[in-house]
A and B are shown apart, each in its own frame.
Chain A
Amino acid sequence: MAGILDVPKPRINCSMLSQFINRAVCFIGRVEKVHPTGKMFTVMDGEGKTATVELNEPVEEELSGIVEVIGMVSNKGEIMASTYNLLREDKGVPFDLELYNEALKVIHDFPQHYPFQVAASG
């Protein structure tokens, strides 16, 4: 897990999953369904498409609302999560998933202006 935290993790949505196979990514989406085992759940992105997230250990808390997942994209296009982070809905301005998706598109359309590939210093 330490490894993944040192690497830049591009933010993506479902359409971009196939381009990031075997790479570390950051995915934000709304929790849809949690598998009974608790080790898998589906998330929907700002475009309405769905991705599957797999966890190492079953989730212990109630998963709902917007979640930010950091993990590797598998060959099958699923996200093998290293860590996740639920965004609080009770405080602050509600997260606008569609607007986030628009911002994502801008970042990917103009990579020359968003150079995230700078290696994090040790």
Chain B
Amino acid sequence: MASLSTGAIEALANGSGWNEAVLQLVNIRKIDGGSGPSRFRVMMSDGRHTLSSFMLSTQLNYMAEENLLVPNCVCVLKRQVTNMLKDGRRVVIILEIDVIKPADASGKIGDPIPYSDGQSRGPQPAPVPESRSPLQPQNRNEAVVRNLKRDFAKKTPSALPDTPGGSSKIVPIASLNPYQSKWTIRARVTNKSSIRTWSNARGEGKLFSMEIVDESGEIRVTGFNQEVDKFFSLIEVGKVYYISKGSLKIANKQYTSVKNDYEMTLNGESTVIPCEDSCDVPMVQCDFVPIGDLENREKDAIVDVIGVCKSVDELTRLTTKSNREVSKRTLSLMDISGKLVTVTLWGEEAEKFDGSGQPIVAIKSAKLSDFGGRSLSASFSSTMMINPDIPEAYKLRGWFDKEGHAMEGQSLTEVRGAGGRLSENWKSLADVKSEHLGHGDKADYYSCIATIVFLRKENCLYQACPTQDCNKKVVDQQNGMFRCEKCDKEFPNFKYRLILSANIADYADNQWVTCFQDSAEAILGQNAAYLGQLKDSNESAFDEIFQQANFNTFIFRNRVKLETYNDESRIKATVMDVKPVDHREYSKRLIMNIRSMGAK
């Protein structure tokens, strides 16, 4: 039989605290949260006193909603935090609670009386009736609870919205937490996203997000639906605002490098007011990682970096898999560690970037990739600053002008082949197998130098739909017509396309690969149409082409992926690109590898 922790209520109410208090739940009341989550107000008893100033933390709302917490159940208060209100009263936020005895197993234990702490400095009468008669019928409680809520609101200096620079107390961003809602912060907006809309089974909506910073730290803020209308156009990047009464929750760190365990959502009660006096508020909060340390970070990590833009490449355009055209530019960043890393910029940022004069470039929330060893990419949520007004930038400039400019630097991103923009990932064919490339969720890509040792000339050609961009195999209707299922049409002709199965080998191992049209034509030195013609008309000439193509050496860029057909898993390798060997680049790479191996 659980006995309650007598004296715990008094201890919790006066601030002394009590660990693992065993209490009986007397009453639980839902408080509608407006546009935020509902809150549950709980009255607990230790057999001697009752206290109604317990609030369930929102992450435990499910316990109330699923009727795990009902009057008369006995619980152990495992984790709580006590907040002091401005009038001196305490509210105990329940962070973790276990029900050790269900409600029906026990009636009311003891004959507790409401605890009045005598410290209450609240002049309003409303709190007093509440604590004297906690068990009054529903409506009375409701009225009292609402009163209490209004009291809380009243006690907050209401001068805040009217005189921002006045008597309101500003709290640091670093102190924000989900258990206090009556705060005001003063922060600068460092990054604002555009409005994004969504539409799914549950409905539609829009949101925007931003990152704000003050002397103590930074935090990510999101506004939904009505808050978008209220605040989006008001907020400008670089300006400082007083923000109050947002809701806090645990942060999803996947998309941002913002250092805060929590993130904020603007709700119906939140206010955003421009601040005139802003010079104290820092421009940006970054936790820069030395470029040399990037090797030790996990791929896909989000990091902040700063360095000198030692060199910048030409703007290029490429077409994505979804047939969109996008601009791209790479630059080389170097810092005091003497190491260099390649950074990729996209879209407008790539187009606008001016790397002349070797500026200091700082990027917040850049994405680290293992492309070419280690490289960085500026994504949608990255912020790039050129010659920022921060001490790290000045330090870098000083170092670079004195000694850095003369350094060659060692790049973390693999040396690209002449004219090659891709960071190649050189592997021997034995490495591909021993490193289990392709066994993960995503396909792996690698480059190798290998010699063709076998070409399968049987079934290397198929009849494809003559429509441009449709490569589906057509069905021979045997009446002179060919049917394409994808286009749902019949044609009197077709075009030949290649799917070439080949075995390639290097000093270490061999590999079966599939070459599609472009790479197959490059290997065979003939186009598919001509080959198709030869196959039908001149078999020995057709064979000759394959003889000539055999035992040639190329640079292959291959894609490997584990594929499963009917319970059987096999590694499939596809040739993405085939190029003649550039012996100079190859020699340089070999010499570099030999030297670095020799140095170890």
Chain A residues at the B interface, C-beta cutoff of 8 Å: 93, 96, 99, 102-103, 106, 109-110
A48 to B584 CA separation, bound complex (whole angstroms): 20
- B587:A103 contact, CB within 8 angstroms: yes
Q: Which residues in A have their C-beta under 8 angstroms from that of B584? A: 93, 96, 99
- A106:B583 contact, CB within 8 angstroms: no
- B583:A110 contact, CB within 8 angstroms: no
Question: Smallest CB-CB separation from B594: which chain A residue?
Answer: A106
Q: Which residues in B have their C-beta under 8 angstroms from that of A109? A: 598
Q: Which residues in A have their C-beta under 8 angstroms from that of B588? A: 99, 102
Distance from B553 Cβ to chain A, minimum over Cβ atoms (Å): 14
A96 to B587 CA separation, bound complex (whole angstroms): 10
A102 to B589 CA separation, bound complex (whole angstroms): 12
Chain B residues at the A interface, C-beta cutoff of 8 Å: 583-584, 587-588, 591, 594-595, 598
A71 to B591 CA separation, bound complex (whole angstroms): 27
Given contacts A99-B584, A102-B588, A110-B598, 11 further A-B contacts (CB under 8 A): A93-B584, A96-B584, A99-B587, A99-B591, A102-B587, A102-B591, A103-B587, A103-B591, A106-B594, A106-B595, A109-B598
Q: Which residues in A have their C-beta under 8 angstroms from that of B591? A: 99, 102-103, 106
- A93:B587 contact, CB within 8 angstroms: no
The 9 nearest A-B residue pairs measured at CB: A102-B591, A96-B584, A106-B594, A99-B587, A106-B591, A99-B584, A103-B587, A93-B583, A103-B591
Q: B594 touches which one: A93, A96, A99, A110 (CB < 8 A)?
A: A110
Question: Smallest CB-CB separation from B591: which chain A residue?
Answer: A102
Distance from B223 Cβ to chain A, minimum over Cβ atoms (Å): 59
Q: Which residues in A have their C-beta under 8 angstroms from that of B598? A: 109-110
* 7 CB-based A-B contacts, threshold 8 Å: A93-B583, A96-B584, A96-B587, A99-B587, A106-B594, A109-B598, A110-B594
Q: Which residues in B have their C-beta under 8 angstroms from that of A110? A: 594, 598
Q: Which residues in B have their C-beta under 8 angstroms from that of A93? A: 583-584
Q: Which residues in B have their C-beta under 8 angstroms from that of A99? A: 584, 587-588, 591
Distance from A70 Cβ to chain B, minimum over Cβ atoms (Å): 22
A110 to B584 CA separation, bound complex (whole angstroms): 21
Question: Smallest CB-CB separation from A96: which chain B residue?
Answer: B584
Distance from B584 Cβ to chain A, minimum over Cβ atoms (Å): 5
A99 to B594 CA separation, bound complex (whole angstroms): 14
A93 to B580 CA separation, bound complex (whole angstroms): 12
Q: Which residues in B have their C-beta under 8 angstroms from that of A103? A: 587, 591
A99 to B586 CA separation, bound complex (whole angstroms): 11
Q: Which residues in B have their C-beta under 8 angstroms from that of A96? A: 584, 587
Distance from A29 Cβ to chain B, minimum over Cβ atoms (Å): 18
A3 to B468 CA separation, bound complex (whole angstroms): 66
Question: Smallest CB-CB separation from A105: which chain B residue?
Answer: B591
Distance from A106 Cβ to chain B, minimum over Cβ atoms (Å): 6
Q: Which residues in A have their C-beta under 8 angstroms from that of B587? A: 96, 99, 102-103
A96 to B584 CA separation, bound complex (whole angstroms): 8
A20 to B584 CA separation, bound complex (whole angstroms): 28
Question: Smallest CB-CB separation from B588: which chain A residue?
Answer: A99
Question: Smallest CB-CB separation from B592: which chain A residue?
Answer: A102
Q: Which residues in A have their C-beta under 8 angstroms from that of B595? A: 106
Distance from B243 Cβ to chain A, minimum over Cβ atoms (Å): 61
A102 to B583 CA separation, bound complex (whole angstroms): 14
Question: Smallest CB-CB separation from B595: which chain A residue?
Answer: A106
A99 to B584 CA separation, bound complex (whole angstroms): 8
A103 to B588 CA separation, bound complex (whole angstroms): 9
A93 to B582 CA separation, bound complex (whole angstroms): 9
Question: Smallest CB-CB separation from B582: which chain A residue?
Answer: A93
Question: Smallest CB-CB separation from B597: which chain A residue?
Answer: A110
Q: Which residues in A have their C-beta under 8 angstroms from that of B594? A: 106, 110
Q: Which residues in A have their C-beta under 8 angstroms from that of B583? A: 93
